[in-house]
Amino acid sequence: MDKRIYLCLAHMSGNEMQYINEAFDTNWVVPMGPNVNAFEADLEKFVGEGKSVVALASGTAAVHLALLACGVGPGDEVLVQSFTFCASTHPITYLGAKPVFVDSEPETWNMDPQLLEEAINDRIAKTGRKPKAIVPVYLYGMPGKINEIMEIAHRYEIPVVEDAAEGMGSRYHGRVVGTFGDYGVLSFNGNKMITTSGGGALICSSEEAKRKIMWYATQAREAYPYYQHEAIGYNYRLSNICAGIGRGQMTVINDHIAHHRRLAAFYKQAFASVDGITFHDELSGMESNFWLCTVTLDEKLHVKNENLAYAHAIQGAVGGAAGVVRGGGSVHTDCEPNVNVEAMRINLDKEGIESRPLWKPMHKQPVYAGATAYANGVSESLFKVGLCLPSGPMVTDDDAERIVKAMLDNLE
């Protein structure tokens, strides 16, 4: 079998080793130091708009601290996009608040502005209080309709935390996403546009906001000659060693974006004439980084071995998924990809090609069974037909041709 092709793997092609070695040579191996400062400066230059950036241990930590800075606390409600990964929503519960899910519009697959405003008015009518924050997400790097969302947020005076964990470098009418709201979240996990092996950052509106986030991220210590704590803080700062990797990655971020966009153009052209496979493309005025390229398979499209799609319950991690998973579940849930999508995933996996369904909407996750949701059916319908394709900097042109050929060969 040819080499296995993964969805998105880190590519160390910048000055990573130089900065890592400097950290060891100078013994800066703690969550502070020259690499952290320089990495934050590089990020600030990249995102522009006069923003300040705090480097953190993960994108999830960035969401958590942004919500904390917005004043989110026990009993509050936060409006969050349902079509996303759980890292967008779990930090809401860390703070004792309640996620209120808002479905997507069908063009970008991101938060529906009209549904957002309906949700705001309904929550005010039912609870007597405005939601405490709004969390839109840039799914797979695709910019959402952020101008419309920001207009609504400003009108109701609700802070916005942009989850741009998948959208680093994507632009909306020329402006980098993550810079429109009060805060913007970035992720540097091992499968993102750049990596620090694990890490994230929070884009802040000012130096004052940055200092507040840094205070929370370093255990919220007071200025005494001993450890005095008057608020709960967190150990969320990025290490100087990991920041060295990030500095090296910043030298090739534009190359990574260009590579992802070139793959997207290839997939788009390759499937343009294939009846039943639709490439998810950007709208006019939007420039996606295409962190992951995605397609939808028409439910009437037939794929080989559909009868085997849900023959056995999954017992371990699928594809490149990391960490520990709990096995022993049932074969089916009440919301799952169509059999042709699952058959295609299995067939590609047998040929050494990782693919993955779209994110399962959060309002369909058992852990949020009791949560309020404003659903229009868009995310559920997309989850049933969508598939993510390999898109990272380690995917070569030959790999892309192999992927397309494998998909077409598996059509009946």
* Cβ atoms < 10 Å from Cβ of 150: 17
Whether 1 has a pLDDT exceeding 60, the answer reads: no
Backbone angles phi, psi at 263, to 5 degrees: -65, -40
- Range scoring the smallest mean pLDDT among 129-138, 151-160, 312-321: 312-321
d(CA 113, CA 321): 32
Q: What percent of the chain has pLDDT over 70?
A: 98
d(CA 262, CA 260): 5
Strands 183-187 and 161-163: parallel
Whether 280 has a pLDDT exceeding 80, the answer reads: yes
Q: Where are the beta strands (DSSP E) in 128-230?
A: 133-135, 161-163, 171-172, 175-176, 183-187, 200-204
Instruction: Give the model confidence (pLDDT) of 26-45 as tens digits.
Output: 999 888 999 999 999 999 99
pLDDT for res 315: 73
- Range scoring the smallest mean pLDDT among 7-16, 125-134, 307-316: 307-316
**Residue 278 and residue 374 in contact, taking contact as beta carbons nearer than 8 Å:** no
Q: Give the helix, strand, coil percentages of the chain, each rounded to 5.
A: 40, 15, 45
Instruction: Give the model confidence (pLDDT) of 333-375 as tens digits.
Output: 999 999 999 999 999 999 999 999 999 999 999 999 999 999 9
Whether 323 has a pLDDT exceeding 70, the answer reads: no
d(CA 245, CA 56): 14
- Range scoring the smallest mean pLDDT among 28-37, 60-69, 145-154, 274-283: 28-37
Query: Nearest-CA neighbor of 201 among 219, 217, 212, 188?
Result: 188
pLDDT for res 75: 97
Query: Nearest-CA neighbor of 292 among 361, 193, 384, 199?
Result: 193
The burial class, CB within 10 Å (0-12 / 13-18 / 19+), for 293 is buried
Instruction: Give the model confidence (pLDDT) of 215-241 as tens digits.
Output: 999 999 999 999 999 999 999 999 999
User: What structural domains and CATH numbers belong to the chain?
Assistant: 16-252 (3.40.640.10), 254-409 (3.90.1150.10)
Whether 183 has a pLDDT exceeding 60, the answer reads: yes
pLDDT for res 197: 92
pTM, full prediction: 0.95
d(CA 238, CA 199): 6
